[in-house]
Each structure stands twice: as C-alpha cells, then as structure tokens.
Structure 1
Amino acid sequence: MSSPVNRPLMAAAALGMVVTFGAGWAVGHSGDDEKNSAERTVATPAPVMPPTPAPTESSSTDGSGDAMEYEQLDDGSGEEVGTAAARAKLPAVNKWKKAPIGVFTCPKATVKVATSDQLQKALDTAEPGASIQLADGLYNGEFRTTRDGSAAKPIYLCGSRNAVIDAGAIKGGYALHFDGATNWRVDGFTVRNGQKGVMVDRGRGIGLQNLLVERIGDEAVHLRTSSRRNVVRGLTIRDTGNRKPKFGEGIYIGTAESNWCEYTDCKPDPSNDNFILNNRISGTTAENVDIKEGTSGGVLNGNRFDGSAMTEGDSWVDVKGNGWLISGNIGVDSRADGYKVIEILDGWGWRNLFSANRSTVRGNGYAINVTKRHSGNVVRCNNTARNAGEGASTVKCRK
C-alpha cells in the first residue's frame, strides 16, 4: 500500500476528453509545488502494443537504435542520489517482447491426480520433466512444493478451470506455495479461498499462465524473497482483500521495506526481472499491482486494470521499484491516480519507463503521477488519458 502523497494544486482536466502526453499539453511541477500548464491537444488513443512474447534475452535498444536500456539519467537536482538509484537503468521500450518464459502448452501427463492427497504427493516427488494433470474437481487444502525442474525440463502442473484448489479459509495460509522451487509451468486451473492465493518464495523460472485466482483474503499472487525471472501471464484475478482490504492487491512483487528484516535479513528483496503480462485484474480492494521498493528490471505489459472495487488503494499500480517497463496496459476507474511512482525509500522509485498505456481514470488524480520529479522516470508522449481530474502526468512527456 502507498502512503498518501501531497499533490500540487492543478486545474481539473475536462471530463470525457482524451489527451496525449504531448509536449504541447504536458504538465510539470517543481520541487516547491509550483506548476505550469499549456494548451491541451486532442488525439485518438495510442494502440496497445501486441502482447506476443518471445522467450529470449532482452535487447538493449528500442528498435530505433537508441540504447534505452542502458541510458543513465542525471536526476537534475545537483544532489547525490542513493546507490540504488545510481545503479538503476532505464529499460528498453521493447523489453516486453523478451520474456524469459514463452507461452507454453502442457505436455501429455506423466502423473494424473484426482484427490488432495494425490496432488500433494505429486508436488512432493516431482522430477524434472514431470507433467502433473489435475482432474476436474475440488482439491481442499494448502499445497506446497520445494521441487526443482530444470531449464530444459521444467515441471508442469496443469488443469482446467474446473479443477479447483480451495484452501478453505481466507484467514488461512497459502493456497499454492512454490517454496524455493524452480522451473515450473503452471496452467489453467482455479485457486481460491486462501489468505494468499499463489505464493512464490525464492522461485526462479516459474511460469504462471491462464489461472483463475479469486476469493482471496489478502493478495492473489505474490512473488517474494529473491524470486526472479518468473512470468505471470494471462491470469484472471478478482475478489481480493476479503480478510483485510489494505492487503488486497492483485499481484504483489517483492517485500515492503518494513518487512525486510523478517524476510530478507534486513536487506532489499531483489525479486527482479519478473514479467507481468496480459492479465485481467479487477475486484481488488488495494492496488491491482504493487511493485515494491527493492525490486528492479521487471515488465508490466498488456494488462487490463479495473480499480472500481478499490477501497484502500488509490491507483491501479504503485511503482516503488527501479527500472521497470510499464507499457501497453489499459486501465479504468480509480479513486485517484492511474499509476503512481513513489520514492518511499531513498533511491527507489527511479528510472521507470511508461509507454503506450491507455488510462480512463474517472478519478480526481493523474493518469501517471510521478511524485518525485527528479527521479529519472520517463513518460513517453504515446500514453493517453481520459477523465483524469488533475491531468495526464506530473512530468513533461518525452518522445
């Protein structure tokens, strides 16, 4: 959850108007909360970038020859910046194409399960290359695995939406927990009625695909404690925060600084290089996505956000990490902002890139609210905003 941030006073954007973040309209403000505004221009929304991923490594250019991924920006304030900020790199605008795990198809089952006991046994004994198939039906309980697949032979866990993992209580534990497990491919089934839905701790190379995660006490999906290079793709997430609304995020990446001593030896949680792609998130009481301080280099692309159920969050996405690409997303209905970038801890919330996002805010904030101006965050002029009460962005856009 983000803390409230004081906003500069600003004339409200006309409701129903779609605006690009062009130089002729962009709004900026200085450190003493003064602002300047210019004429607004009307334009049609920018197209969303195609969501087709490729399981290859990230490129250093944006397709035009500009080495955006490695561009280092001066904060412009003349002051020294924190170590984390100094290391942060602006991501390539096409990094969304370079997901470490591509779209996958579940292979023929090597293990078929139909009961809770059979499922837990399969999770306890899975070897690289195994393919676990869930029969349709109800799997009551909390399920956990520590098993490793390999990059060449991942472990598959697959079922239809009618195969339902049900943890039984929104005040319980984790419905499905990958605890130090690596190289899994998880597809298709339903997860519900846990305090948390899918938890990944110290997970590497895990692909979560096409799941339905619903009726959750706190957050639906959480990547935590150095979970890296995982892909969350095509999930439907809804109805979270039933235990405590302030913890009801859809997808939560990393660990809040207040919990670092509990989970990461009082150091930042480097849950880095995770890709959050093409998910549909609604019915969350807190943010649809919360990107925590300490995380770097991730991608948030092609998602659809709906903030109409938020009672605690004030933006679809809180960005407190560094070097994230936030691109090609569509958002509707927020209490305040569409996206909010926050330096909650010195040197974090830096050098993130916003490109080709389409925002219908219907709230009293900004489409993209960068709360610390001199933080190297870049808002491209191809973002569009509708019904954002305070305007499109707090920073001038860049082409």
Structure 2
Amino acid sequence: MSSRSSSRRAVFLGAVSISAAVAVTAALGGPAPARAAGVNLSAAFARTSVWTSGYGGGYTVTNRGDTAATGWTVEFDLPAGSAVSSSWSSVRTQSGRHYRFTNAGFNATIPPGGTENFGFNVAGTGLPTGCTVDGLPCDGGSQVTTTPTTTPATATTTPATTTPPTGDVVDVSTAAQLQAALANAAPGQAIRLAAGTYRGSFVTTKAGTAARPITLSGPANAVLINDGPAGDAPDCPVPTAGWDSGYGLWLASAPYWTLRGFTVQDSKKGIVADNSPHTTIDGVTVHHIDEEGVHFRRSSADSVLKNSTITYTGLVQPGYGEGVYLGSANSNWGCHGNSGGVDRGDRIQVLDNHIGPFIAAEPIDVKEGTFDGVIRGNTFDGRGISGQNSADSWIDVKGIGYTIEGNTGTFAPPGTFANGYENHNTSTSPSFDNGCGNVWRNNKSDLGGVGDYAIKISSVAKCAANPNVVYASNTVTNARSGLTNIPVTP
C-alpha cells in the first residue's frame, strides 16, 4: 500500500440536511423502515461525559423481540442552543434541531436480546427529547418522549487548568488530565487510567529510557477516542499546533514507552508510534478504526505488540485498514524514511495477538526495508478482508529475514482471500532483497475452501541469494492448491 489520506471520517461524521416533516423526510429517502415481525426495539440515552459547555452521550439500542433486527433508526430533537458537534458508529442527518441517526454497516444487525450503540458530542447542555426508534417511542410506551438517564461524568475533552503531574505514579480520570500527563511525562513514570471514556487528541513527545521506561496503563474499559482529524495537516505528519491527527494515541519521537490494558476505538488510526523505538504494546484492544489499527512507523524498531486484540479496521478506507503495519511503503519514505532515507522498523515482534475479524486490509502488513522481525503465536480471523489495495491474505511480507511461526489462521466469508501468507519483492532505492530470507514454520492454516496456498512465494529467482524457507511443520486444510508453491524444507 502507498500513501494515506487525511480526510475526515465520512461514515461517522457526515451531516446532510433533512426535514423533520414527513413529506421532506420521504423525499430524502423515505421514513424509517417498518419493523420486521418479532422485532421490538428500544433505545436508552445516557450521558458518558460532561463539561462546562457540553457533554458526550449516546444511545443503546436493544432488541427485546424474538427476531433479529437488520437495521435501525433513532431520531430526537435538541432544544435551542444545543447541537450535535460530532458522532460515531452511525450515519447522522439533521434538519434544524431534529436529528436522525441510522446504523453504520457494522452495527446494523441486532439479534434477539442483543444491543448496539452509537454516540455523539453535544455543544450545549440541552438533552434529547421526543426520541423514536424506527418511528416508535424509544421506551416502548405510547408517548414519543424520553426522559434521559444520566450517568456520572467520566473523561472530558474541555481544556482545564491542570497542575502538571509529578511523581512516579500519575493517576488520571479525565481527558484533560491525560493530555497533561502525556505532555509532561518523565522517565520512570507510570500513568494510570481510571475506567471511563477519554475523548480528545492524545499525543506525547516525551521519551523514556531503557532503565526507566514510561508506562501508560488502564483497564479495558478505559477507552481512548479521537473524533478528529481537524485543522490543516502538515505535508508530513508531525505534531503541529492547530492540527488534530485523528490518531487514538500517538507516540512521536517518544521511545521506551509501555502501553498496557486499555482500549482505543472510533479514531482515524488506532495507535501510531513514530520514531519511537522500544515501544511495548501489551494487552490492548483496538477496534472500529477508520484506517489501520497499530502502526510502527519512522524506524520504531525493537518494539513489541503482544497479547492484544484488533478488530474492525478500515471502516472508512478499507484499502488502508491493516490490523498491524510494520514500517512504510517506499513511496512514503520521503516523509517516514528517517534512517538513511528508509523507514527501518527492524526487529519488531508481533506475539500472541488476536487479529480479526473484519480487518479490511491485511491483519499484518510487513513493509519493504524492514529486517529481522518475529511474528509468532497469533490468531488471524480473515473474515472481512476486503481485497482492496491488494489486501487478500493474513500477512503480506515485503521485509527481509522475518520468522513467522506458530500462528493459526482461518478464513470464512465474507471477504476476498487469495492465499494465507504472501511475499512480494518490491524494488527500492537504496536496494534491499525485499521479500527474501523469511522463514515459515509450525503455522496452521484453514483456507476455508477459498484460498489457493497457505504460503505463496511470489518469486524464487529474485531471492536466490537469500531464499525464503517453508518448513514441513506448517499444515493446511481446505486449500484449493496446497501448502505452498515452492519445495518444502523438512
């Protein structure tokens, strides 16, 4: 894959005028569809964060019937002086003070007893009124009104006067506190997230050391969300005043960080490490991301991603929706090639993660010019691989000298799938034997009757001096062609 787009999220943040009047609503696509027999939906509102001039909130849509819902629409009004400023996990339209939210593609189906959620930020303090779900009262009653239920405030994004954190342990519970902790982090500090939702731009340029790394940790229900991007982006992505990258968490020239336990979701990109070698990501959850989930970029070498779960990436740009992205395409080395003109994301280890389903591009994309990584013990669920931008395998290896072992991969529809593992020999300047010298052993592959080979080697001749090796310990089931297209090494 090549360059990345910096466009705002079209699926989650678009706003198109519609009328609250029935006639105009019909002209823009008709009223909400009638409920299927046996579907009984309700929608409950809750605020998740509160600040001086607004709040964050959302609805939980519950199917109380005995038949799966295949789509939903929630509508409500806000009083004068209040307006939805951003939203996610839905498609939003608006006419005056009337708002209409329909499901996104990934959360349309609600099985009996199941729930789906969508959220939004409001500028102003007015709460929703007149809520309907598929044209009927949200609470299932006879009146089209809703008394919103509030929950205690959690994280906020409004800048606040915050004393710069000091000490070896820094506890944070608001977005402003987290931003201050990241801006003032010092070697050896442990920043601890309380449970809650943190909305905003979270970036650090502070470095730890080998002896005193910096740790950011929290429970899985400590959730980082970035509703950006916003502002004018620089030619190459670096932290810039007035620009919000949209990244859920961004380490920029910040080596020796450990990230542990928390969740990143509903952001343009998930976690990005730029020029941040020796980054450890352990036990995080990344999901519902517009582009890639985790990206080690600008020579963020000697880093580790382990024990983590990544699902639902590429929601807006499927061809750029890798689960894990190691290095950069050589077409982007002009920005990211900070090691002699090359992005040298060397010796990165990807260990014991669960990647998929609905990773729109490859679960792991190993870029040219990177060396000697280890990809071990991972589980790949190939459902949802899109086929866009040549994404049609669990791993595409253009790097050199990688060990790929002990992984388990499966594929089942929906999706586009050619082979389990592929390599490609990309030409670069300076020249490397890209896609060569890689080793596969002890991998288990189930190609679902769709894929050709478990391991497809694009060229033997191009790697004559540094051949790829496929050991007989690899196994495959449900393949159209077999284990591999090259001789197997005992």
Q: Please give the TM-score of this superposition, normalised by the length of structure 1.
A: 0.71
Deviation at 1:396, TM superposition (A): 0.8
1:1-399 matches, cutoff 5 A = 1=1, 110-168=169-227, 173-264=246-337, 267-282=341-356, 283-312=358-387, 313-333=391-411, 335-345=417-427, 347-362=433-448, 363-374=450-461, 375=463, 376-399=467-490
Tell me if structure 1 keeps the 8 A contact 2:227–2:246.
Answer: no
The structure whose Rg is larger is 2
Partner of 1:96: none
Partner of 2:138: none
Q: Counterpart amino acid of 2:442?
A: A
Structure 1 counterpart SS, 2:488: coil
CA distance in structure 1 between the aligned counterparts of 2:266 and 2:229, rounded to whole angstroms: 5
CA distance in structure 1 between the aligned counterparts of 2:251 and 2:228, rounded to whole angstroms: 19
CA distance in structure 2 between the aligned counterparts of 1:360 and 1:254, rounded to whole angstroms: 28
Residues 223 and 249 of structure 1, relative CA distance in 2, 3 Å threshold: same
CA distance in structure 2 between the aligned counterparts of 1:182 and 1:173, rounded to whole angstroms: 21
Q: Counterpart amino acid of 2:351?
A: L
Deviation at 1:263, TM superposition (A): 2.1
CA distance in structure 1 between the aligned counterparts of 2:184 and 2:395, rounded to whole angstroms: 38
Range with bigger deviation, 166-175 or 353-362: 166-175
Deviation at 1:165, TM superposition (A): 0.3
CA distance in structure 1 between the aligned counterparts of 2:325 and 2:447, rounded to whole angstroms: 21
Q: Counterpart amino acid of 2:170?
A: V
Structure 1 counterpart SS, 2:292: coil
CA distance in structure 2 between the aligned counterparts of 1:113 and 1:182, rounded to whole angstroms: 22
Tell me if structure 2 keeps the 8 A contact 1:170–1:216.
Answer: no
Deviation at 1:268, TM superposition (A): 2.5
Two-structure CA RMSD over aligned residues (Å): 1.7
CA distance in structure 1 between the aligned counterparts of 2:378 and 2:299, rounded to whole angstroms: 23
CA deviation profile, 1:349-368 (whole Å, cap 9, x unmatched)? 01000010000012232100
- Pick 1 or 2: higher relative contact order, CA cutoff 8 A, min separation 6: 1
Tell me if structure 1 keeps the 8 A contact 2:186–2:214.
Answer: yes
Tell me if structure 2 keeps the 8 A contact 1:170–1:243.
Answer: no
Range with bigger deviation, 277-286 or 161-170: 161-170
CA deviation profile, 1:184-232 (whole Å, cap 9, x unmatched)? 1110000011111000001111110000101100000000111110000
Aligned residues: 294
Tell me if structure 2 keeps the 8 A contact 1:169–1:193.
Answer: no
Deviation at 1:337, TM superposition (A): 0.4
CA distance in structure 2 between the aligned counterparts of 1:254 and 1:109, rounded to whole angstroms: 32
CA distance in structure 1 between the aligned counterparts of 2:201 and 2:291, rounded to whole angstroms: 15
CA deviation profile, 1:312-333 (whole Å, cap 9, x unmatched)? 2210000000000000000001
Structure 2 counterpart SS, 1:215: strand
Q: Counterpart amino acid of 1:328?
A: G
CA distance in structure 1 between the aligned counterparts of 2:275 and 2:451, rounded to whole angstroms: 38
Tell me if structure 1 keeps the 8 A contact 2:168–2:188.
Answer: no
Tell me if structure 1 keeps the 8 A contact 2:207–2:255.
Answer: yes
Tell me if structure 1 keeps the 8 A contact 2:455–2:483.
Answer: yes
Deviation at 1:169, TM superposition (A): 5.1
CA distance in structure 2 between the aligned counterparts of 1:175 and 1:126, rounded to whole angstroms: 18
Structure 1 counterpart SS, 2:380: strand
CA distance in structure 2 between the aligned counterparts of 1:217 and 1:210, rounded to whole angstroms: 21
Tell me if structure 1 keeps the 8 A contact 2:206–2:254.
Answer: yes
4+ long deviations beyond 6 Å: none
Task: Specify which structure has the higher proportion of strand.
Answer: 2
Q: Please give the TM-score of this superposition, normalised by the length of structure 2.
A: 0.58
Tell me if structure 1 keeps the 8 A contact 2:322–2:363.
Answer: yes
Partner of 1:70: none
Tell me if structure 1 keeps the 8 A contact 2:420–2:451.
Answer: no
Q: Counterpart amino acid of 2:469?
A: V
CA deviation profile, 1:89-108 (whole Å, cap 9, x unmatched)? xxxxxxxxxxxxxxxxxxx9
Tell me if structure 1 keeps the 8 A contact 2:279–2:300.
Answer: no
Deviation at 1:382, TM superposition (A): 0.3
CA distance in structure 2 between the aligned counterparts of 1:328 and 1:148, rounded to whole angstroms: 33
Structure 1 counterpart SS, 2:420: strand
Tell me if structure 2 keeps the 8 A contact 1:170–1:242.
Answer: no
CA distance in structure 2 between the aligned counterparts of 1:345 and 1:381, rounded to whole angstroms: 30
